[in-house]
Amino acid sequence: MTHWIEALQERLSPFLKRWPLIAGIGGALFGLTIVFLLIAGLMTPDLVPATGGSKIVVTNIGGQGLREGKTSWRFHADRAEFSADGAVQTYHNATATYFLRSRPMYKILAGEVTVDTRSLNYSADGGVHVWSVGLPDKQHFITQSLVWNNSTQMLNCPGDTDVMYQGVETRTDHLTANLVTGMITTGQSIAKVGQPLPAATSANR
């Protein structure tokens, strides 16, 4: 997983050097890719089918990933639902932590995450919050919902999105990014260096 993170940093570096707004949006993409790697790479424990129905329901589900014998991520959800074939997975009140060199670096909260394991598309709703815990500069990403299309490498945040990255806080009313071309599209945006902007209201913190 560290290789993926380093590769993404290299891909985004030209944008992070341009100006505060792009730096903030680049930070958002970095954080959201961590979300994708944690969710899509989830190691699901043995499942026990719920009584009746065609889907599998698990409560208090958790998992972790290892890299060279050390914890690279941990995941927990209050409830998970799986289609009969396991292809579609939905996690409720999901939390995750990404580790680097055995130290926690980022934490993630999401109200609901749905993953299609065939296409590796995913969506998150009910508030998404990514924030740093092991870095000297505070970083965070907050939005109400997001959609990732793996085949087109397109990320879409249709609502208000708030990003803190490299001392710059950026807020935009929507965000779309293409990780193949590097094209980033935003709506009305505010970028500020220094004190945080007023608290975001569009997503749960």
> What are the structure tokens assigned to 30, written together?
């970095």
Q: Tell me the β-bridge partners of 114.
A: 90, 123
Sign of CA dihedral 40, 172, 17, 192: negative
pLDDT for residue 197 is more than 80: no
pLDDT in tens, 5-38: 455 445 444 443 444 454 555 555 555 555 555 5
Domain boundaries along the sequence of the chain: 2-193
| CATH number of the structural domain 2-193 | 2.60.450.10
d(CA 111, CA 113): 7
Q: Report whether 168 contacts 16 (CB < 8 A).
A: no
Asked whether residue 93 carries a pLDDT value surpassing 90, the answer given is: yes
Give the model confidence (pLDDT) of 134-175 as tens digits: 777 787 888 899 888 889 988 888 998 887 777 777 788 888
pLDDT tens profile 104-143: 888 888 899 888 878 878 888 998 888 888 777 787 888 8
Residue 25: how many other CB atoms lie within 10 Å: 26
CB 95 within 8 A of CB 76: yes
Please state the pTM of the whole predicted model. Answer: 0.69
